[in-house]
Chains A and B, each alone.
Chain A
Amino acid sequence: MKAVMIVFSQAHTERVEYMFSRLAIKGFTFWENVQGEGSKTGEPHRGTHTWPDMNSSVLTVIEDDKVQDLLIAVRKLDNRNKEAGIRAFVWNVEQTV
């Protein structure tokens, strides 16, 4: 089991939802209105007057073999619009109840 955390500009919300439904990923936890800045490229998403954009983030715990597909999908989405910004991070899951 892996945990994938995807952080994306709010502009991508519907696309991310579509992505999940296409990949048949059911379980997730979703945070709305999170702030952040990319390490290399992209504008800050801070919800301020200067940087009004905001991010959302979703954390999903999935089977190992699905991670590839998800990451591919994320990249496809990123390709579609570099400006908006989407990043995915993968962890190992030690235990679940």
Chain B
Amino acid sequence: MAIYKTAINKPITTALIFVAVIVFGVFSFSKLPIDQFPKMDIPYVSIMTTYPGANGSEIETNVTKVLENSLNSVDGLKEITSQSKDNMSIITLQLNWGSNIDESVNDVRSAIDMAINNLPDGCSRPMIFKLSTSMIPVLQYAITANESYPGLDKILEDNVVNVLKRIEGIGNISLSGAPERYIYIDLDQNKLDAYNLSVEQVGQAVGANNLNLASGSVKMGKEQYQLRVQSEYVESSEINDIVVANRGGKSVFVKDLATVRDSLRDITIDEKINGRNGVRLVIMKQTGANTVQITRDVHKAMVEIEKTLPPDIKFQIIYDGGENIQNSINGLSEAVMFAFLFVILIVLVFLGKWRAMFIIILSIPISLVTAFAYLSIVDSSLNIISLCSLTIAIGLVVDDAIVVLENITRHIERGASPREASIYGTNEVWVSIIATTMVIVAVFLPLTMLGGQAGIFFKEMGWIVTICIIISALVAIALTPMLSSIMLKTKKVIINAKGEIEEVSTRSGFYERTAMKWLAALDKWYAGRLHWCLNHKLITSIAAFVIMILGFLPVIMGGLGVNFMAEQDNGQLTATIELQRGTRVEETMKAARAIEADFFKIAPEIELISSSTGTSDDAGFSSLMSKANNNTISMTIRFPNKSKRERTVFQIAEDLRTYLKDRADVINYSVSTGGMMGGQQSNVAVEVYGYDFEATNRLTEELKHKIADVEGARNITVSREEDRAELQINFDKEKLARSGMTSAQVSMAIRSRVNGFAAGFLKEDGDEYDIVVRLKEEFRNSITDIEEMTLQAPTGALIKVKELATVQEFWSPPTIEHKRRQRVVTISVSPSGVSLLELANSIKAVVKETEIPQGVLINVGGTYEDQMEMSRDMGTLMMLIILLVYIVMASQFESFAKPFIIILGSIPFAFAGAFVALYITGTDLEMVGMLGLILLVGIVVKNGIVLVDYINLMRDRGYELNEAIALSGESRLRPVLMTALTAILGMVPMALSTAEGSEMWVPLGIVVIGGLTFATIVTLVVVPVLYAAMSRHGERDKEAELRKTFIFFDQTLSEEDRKEIEKV
């Protein structure tokens, strides 16, 4: 028995099955986390190897190359890049998106094991880092203080960090730029020399007097005591009175040699918030934790924490990942709700019956909640992609129910009882419902097979829409007939006074007078126009062709930009400013203050500037991540919400760039507008491959200058650092040996004098503060000072540095970068005001006219390359989809030719419309826009099927060709308009959305609205005309062929036969 018959016969079972589906879906919904994007592994693995004492090029040949050759065989490897700098080699493997990172890490490990014997002695074991989402901060606070600033570190550590760590899901919390308490003992080199003492001796004396030691136990009578020597410093001033040595019977105290400062650590990094002393609190989450929940919890906790802190400490948010996500999701949820409302309105206008509307609308929530069930099963989240998919689905899932209900209503109007009408009505259309569902599935299922980063996004979308649409088909052939059989009413008839049967019109009133009348008029008008077109096929075809060409004009003329993903205005800018190499951090700070002040003038919208100058540590783990130096300033600039300001961050960024360009002390700068996911911005990268430093440097410089003149080229940065100024101390090995010292000893000694000798800790309230012994600054800030430093030989003799070595200024070689195992310099350029494709083309032109020396290779890549790859993938996908759709249509029509009517008659027009819409709104074609194009194929083909199927039916029923077409047109106009309008209006909230992050999905809305509006109008004319043009010839042949087949009719009967018959 057919499914719809069972459903109608067992209404309770049917209803309850769907109730169960809803309950399951709602339950899943309540458990879904909120996130920005579907879960994905960031496919990068880094390998860090240290080889102390080797310079960049030694590291390159002995470590990097050896490892690269071995690592090149890792499965799923997309690109291998490396940096070889002094003492360190960092290799980064980019793997294919979606590949299993754990497996790859295992591969990497065995590749390293194979190469490890070929690495030089003294080289550390390579360390493998897996980049994970937990390394990306979810929340950043700027904390400013006045009086409390010196003690801020301890206050925050005790009252904020420790409290926040208790919140579930929080990973690491770090304070950046917090002032640290240090006790400095600044020695005077001359006094040391006078007393014949060395830095180490002072340090050892200070350390040796700072002890608490257990010294056994003492038994006294019946009791036993622990003995302790208690000699730790209680206060830093005690250090002044420590005796270092005896000279001439007199004690030499620390205070005789040095000044003791209980102070803050000398500045190497400087954090300022709006120019005031401040600290940045960076909060990261554990992998897989719910960002939105965490930020919400942190905000709540912060309110409580602020009450316990001194009143001069102020918190400001620099970055709130949770808020960004929440805003995007809220914006999209709004779009979903509006889409739902619009669809209800459309259905109501076209059907005018509450009961019918209810039956149809019911298919929306049922289909959509299954999407939640899917998301929950695959462990995904409510994110931009899944919500976009739902918006798309809303416009599609009502169609099947509409077709069924419309047909049932027709049967009821012809007098069948609701029960019979539901059975016959469904029986008539269920095959074509399956076919149209198959078309949508054919469009969306291939999306799940796409690779790369886009593949991760589209996979979810493909599955969600596919699942929703299949469920909606099930609803249409089970629930809709069941509800129709119960809820719809037959026409009322009465026997009137004359004893005749009379129909009582139940449908009179407002709706009949307005919408019904207009729709009927529209049907008539359309039928009239269609007749005209069918009689003027040539004119219509030419007109349609011209319109299509006009639509494609923006693309042909190159007026349509192509981008990977729209940049988002999330109210944040980051600026990296580089001053002259070797600028000391104090000078850089001065420049930073001046720049900040000017920024506030240029952009009064600025809410907050958090700038950090210098590096936090000389060689810490962070150097792996950033390239900060004493001469670099990095600023995070925060703006109020998009709705509260007139200029976009892109415009402001442009102004700031112009300002920085004119500043004389700024050597290099880049102002980037935040972008998505760790700020990866779209760029064109010109990669210059070549072994010779000279040649590649010269070429790079030339290209950089030429590119600077290209229109729309911004943020031009060169990856190879310029040579860095260094002071080298070259020891004479022979003299060194004669004095009884080794290189290691002298380098340690010099480090103690300049950087400091660690002499233990001052303990206070459970915290330890470093005590550092070193030379006073005036004794270590010139080449002569270094030469005048006194070292102590093992014999106890004191020797000046200049006796053993020469100090020279020197340019250190740059970091050597590799890509695909070759030396490379990358010039990266980001577009501003032009699309990525345009920029790439003009840069390619520049490269072409530049003379390239031998042995140097140039490749134009960057995100531009990814984009081209994606476009190719999309193109292949489109072909695959059209082929699949063709298969579905050809089997539906049982004809090879008829699908072409639809493919030629609607798809080009849909694309033309989409391009025109993009062109008018000045939007670039992006990844989501391309997705929109694919989606368009589905919807317009569906509409085409509805029309052509009905024309076929009418032809089979014996109507003359033109008549059949006009009749179908008139009858199918409403369903076609309804499907198109539900899809169009479903997208309107998306296209008009101005929520944060809306840049991402607006193109999708624009493409679908433009394409579908255009395609629907044209399709309603072109498809019938094409049908007529293609059928005319074939139909005449058909009649002749029929005559030929049934030739028996034309025989002449024999006389005998004739007589026998005439006998009667």
| Interface, chain A (partner B; CB < 8 A) | 14-15, 18-19, 22, 67-68, 71-73, 75-77, 79-80, 90
Q: What 4 A-B pairs have minimum CB-CB distances, sorted nearest first?
A: A80-B1048, A18-B1046, A71-B1061, A75-B1057
- How many chain B residues touch A (CB < 8 A): the figure is 12
Neighbouring A residues of B1061 by C-beta, 8 Å: 68, 71-72, 75
A80, B1057: Cα distance in complex, Å? 13
Q: A75-B1061, A90-B1064 are in contact. Are A15 and B1053 (CB under 8 A)?
A: no
| B residues in contact with A72, CB < 8 Å | 1053, 1058, 1061
Q: Once the chains bind, are A76 and B1053 in contact (CB under 8 Å)?
A: yes
Q: Does B1062 contact A (CB under 8 A)?
A: yes
| A22→B1039 CA distance, assembly (Å) | 12
Give 1 or 0 for each of B1032-1064: 1 = CB within 8 Å of chain A CB. 000000000010001011010100011011101
Considering the chains assembled together, what is the distance between the CA atoms of A73 and B1049 in angstroms? 7
- CB-CB < 8 A to B1058: which residues of A? 72
A19 to chain B, nearest CB (A): 7
Q: Is the CB of B1053 within 8 A of A77?
A: no
11 A-B pairs (CB sep. < 8 Å): A14-B1046, A15-B1046, A22-B1049, A68-B1062, A71-B1061, A72-B1058, A76-B1048, A76-B1051, A79-B1051, A79-B1053, A80-B1051
In the bound complex, residues from chain A placing their C-beta under 8 Å from that of B1060 are 75
Q: What A residues does B1051 contact at CB under 8 A?
A: 76, 79-80
Given contacts A68-B1061, A68-B1062, A72-B1061, contact A18 B1049 (CB under 8 A): yes
- Least CB distance from A78 to B in Å reads 9
Q: What A residues does B1053 contact at CB under 8 A?
A: 72, 75-76, 79
Chain B residues within an 8 Å CB radius of A71: 1061, 1064
Bound: A76/B1048 CA distance, A: 6
Nearest CB of B to A51, in Å: 25
Query: Nearest Cβ in chain A — how far from B58, in angstroms?
Result: 89
Identity of the chain A residue whose Cβ is nearest the Cβ of B1064 in the assembled complex: A90
A68: B residues at CB distance < 8 A:
1061-1062
How close is A74's CB to chain B, nearest CB, in angstroms? 9
A54 to chain B, nearest CB (A): 21
A-B contacts besides A72-B1053, A76-B1053, A90-B1064, 7 pairs, CB < 8 Å: A22-B1049, A68-B1062, A71-B1064, A75-B1053, A75-B1061, A76-B1051, A79-B1051
Bound-complex Cα distance A73 to B1050 (A): 9
Residues on B with beta carbons closer than 8 Å to the beta carbon of A73? 1049
Most A CB within 10 A of own CB, among B1046, B1051, B1058, B1060: B1046
A72 to B1051 CA separation, bound complex (whole angstroms)? 10
Q: Given A18-B1042, A71-B1061, are A79 and B1048 neighbors across the interface (CB < 8 Å)?
A: yes
**Which single member of A14, A67, A76, A90 contacts B1049 (CB below 8 Å)?**
A76
Q: A72-B1058, A75-B1057 are in contact. Are A19 and B1049 (CB under 8 A)?
A: yes
CA distance A75 to B1061 in the complex (A): 9
B1057 CB contacts on chain A under 8 angstroms? 75, 79
Q: Kindly state the separation between the CA atoms of A86 and B998 in the bound complex, as whole angstroms.
A: 74
CB distance from A26 to the nearest CB of B (A): 11
By a CB distance below 8 angstroms, the chain A residues around B1064 are 67, 71, 90
Complex Cα–Cα for A18 and B1058 (A): 21
**Which residue of chain A has its CB nearest to the CB of B1050?**
A76
In the complex, what residue of chain B is closest to A23 when comparing beta carbons? B1049
Write the nearest CB–CB distance from A52 to chain B, whole angstroms: 24
Residue of B nearest to A18 (CB): B1046
For residue B1034, give the distance in angstroms from its CB to the closest CB of chain A: 19
Question: Closest Cβ of chain B: how far from A77's Cβ, in Å?
Answer: 5
When distances are taken between beta carbons in the complex, the residues of chain B under 8 Å from A80 are 1048, 1051
B1041 to chain A, nearest CB (A): 12
Q: How far is the CB of B610 from chain A (nearest CB, A)?
A: 85
How far apart sit A83 and B1061, CA to CA, in the bound complex (Å)? 20
With a CB–CB cut-off of 8 A, which chain B residues contact A76?
Answer: 1048-1049, 1051, 1053
B residues in contact with A67, CB < 8 Å: 1064
Distance in angstroms between the alpha carbons of A80 and B1046 in the assembled complex: 10
Which residue of chain A has the shortest Cβ distance to B1052 in the bound complex? A76
The CA of A75 and the CA of B1051, in the complex, are separated in Å by 10
Task: Tell me the bound Cα distance from A80 to B1064 in angstroms.
Answer: 23
